[in-house]
Amino acid sequence: MCGRYAATAHPDELIEEFEVELDRTGEPSRSILKSPQSPPPGTPDFNLAPSKQAPVVLSRAPRPSAGAAANDAGSTGGSAPVRQLRLLTWGLVPSWAKDAKMGLRMINARAESVLEKGAFAKAAASRRCLVPAQGWYEWQKSPVATDPKGNPRKQPFFAHRADGRTLAFAGLYEFWRDRKIADPDDPEAWLTTFTIITTQAEPGLDRIHDRQPLVLEPEDWATWLDPTMEDPDEVARLLAFSAPGRFEAYPVGTAVSSNRSNGPQLLEPAGEDDLVGVVDPMTGEIVGAPDQLAARQETHSGPNPA
């Protein structure tokens, strides 16, 4: 998974669909972006990129009192866990990391190794979350067409549920304490981050990329989110979940390749005339031969002056 997805639902829609008990998206939280996020966190984002804040569903015991620390990294006992909707930063920063830059390398976690890998093991045991999305983008490398630099031409695809329902990516989250800020009640003292778990791509989608997000079904949401469920065998069962045939994918325009691009137009299918050396994920056939591209370029450039 290359690291881009569409999160187009409003918080009210997610609260209903994911049976959220506590909406915390309006609370102040630390951002690592140098400029204000665009679109603003918690609003529909058709091109959500790493380092942005995104809506995430998790279950956690509420803070014991209004005067407690702004973050609730230690509130795992006492009250029963409450299902919450929060804004977390994409790119997991382990609690022991020296700085927040580590998150840039931790946007994804492999399902096959997440229980053993040091950066993810503790979160996999009790800090699991769901990341709502309409779908995700992936870039397919053409086996026959090259770009002007001689590299395989990359075609973006958008993958989504065939039934139109919201996806629930399996994820993990962590709290990171900035020791440079003395006051633990200062929201800027804490950074809460998440990573998306990936698994082997199913037949068809593997013609686009060899990995895909792990998408869980509603019947498994409660188990995955339960912070008191620390049975490694049960976690491993969910990490191995597979249900081929749920998704469809189609090529989209190259505008999505820029993280400055946004809006519903990014989800529109690319025209067939714009496809060059693209492998159809369903049939395996190549759409748009490279010689057709050359012919189109010659046509658009006009006649060669004598």
Report which of residues 2 and 203 the model is more confident about.
203
Backbone φ and ψ for 93, nearest 5 degrees, come out as -115, 110
Question: Is residue 187 very low, low, confident or very high in pLDDT (cuts 50, 70, 90)?
Answer: confident
Identity of the residue numbered 227: P
CA distances in angstroms from 52 to 155, 172, 195, 232, 287, listed in the order given: 24, 16, 12, 30, 34
Of the candidates 63, 7, 23, 5, the residue with the CA atom closest to the CA atom of residue 187: 63
Please say whether the beta carbons of 85 and 15 come within 8 A: yes
Q: pLDDT confidence of 253, banded at 50, 70, 90? A: very high
Determine the pLDDT at residue 71.
61
| Mean pLDDT value across the chain | 90
Strand partners, 193: 89, 174
Question: Hey, where are the domains in the chain?
Answer: 5-272
Give burial (CB, 10 Å; 0-12/13-18/19+) of 220.
Answer: middle
Q: What is the pTM of this model?
A: 0.91
Q: Tell me if 101 sits within 8 A of 114, measured CB to CB.
A: no
Closest residue by Cα to residue 172 from 251, 96, 253, 114: 114
What would the pLDDT profile of 101-123 be if each residue is shown by its tens digit? 888 889 999 999 999 999 999 99
Rounded to 5 degrees, what are φ and ψ at 136?
Answer: -130, 160
Can you tell me the mean pLDDT for 135-139?
98
62 has a pLDDT exceeding 60? yes
Q: Identify the CATH number of the domain defined by range 5-272.
A: 3.90.1680.10
- What pLDDT score was predicted for residue 82? 97
Enclosing H/E stretch for 16: helix 11-17
Predicted pLDDT at 218: 98
Count of other CB atoms within 10 angstroms of residue 279: 20
Q: Summarize pLDDT for 4-40 with one digit per residue, the tens.
A: 999 999 999 999 999 999 999 999 999 999 999 999 9
SS3 108: strand
Least confident of 95-104, 124-133, 241-250, 258-267: 95-104
- Residues annotated as catalytic (active site), given as ranges: 2, 138
Note the pLDDT of residue 292: 53
CB 137 within 8 A of CB 154: no
pLDDT tens-digit map of 234-247: 999 999 999 999 99
Task: Return the half-sphere exposure (C-beta side, CA atoms, 13 A cut-off) of residue 81.
Answer: 22
Answer whether residue 254 shows pLDDT above 70. Answer: yes
pLDDT at 182: 82
Q: Which residue has the tokens 């973050």?
A: 71
Q: What's phi and psi for 149, nearest 5 deg?
A: -90, 0
User: Exposed (0-12), middle (13-18) or buried (19+): which is 256, by Cβ within 10 Å?
Assistant: buried
Residue holding tokens 């946007």?
107
Residues facing residue 57 across a β-bridge: 85, 130
How many CB atoms are located within 10 Å of the residue 267 CB?
19
Q: Write down the pLDDT at residue 296.
A: 47
| Cβ count near 65 (within 10 Å) | 6
241 φ/ψ angles, rounded to the nearest 5 degrees: -60, 135
As a whole number of angstroms, the distance between CA 289 and CA 275 comes to: 8
Residue 181 has pLDDT above 90, yes or no: no
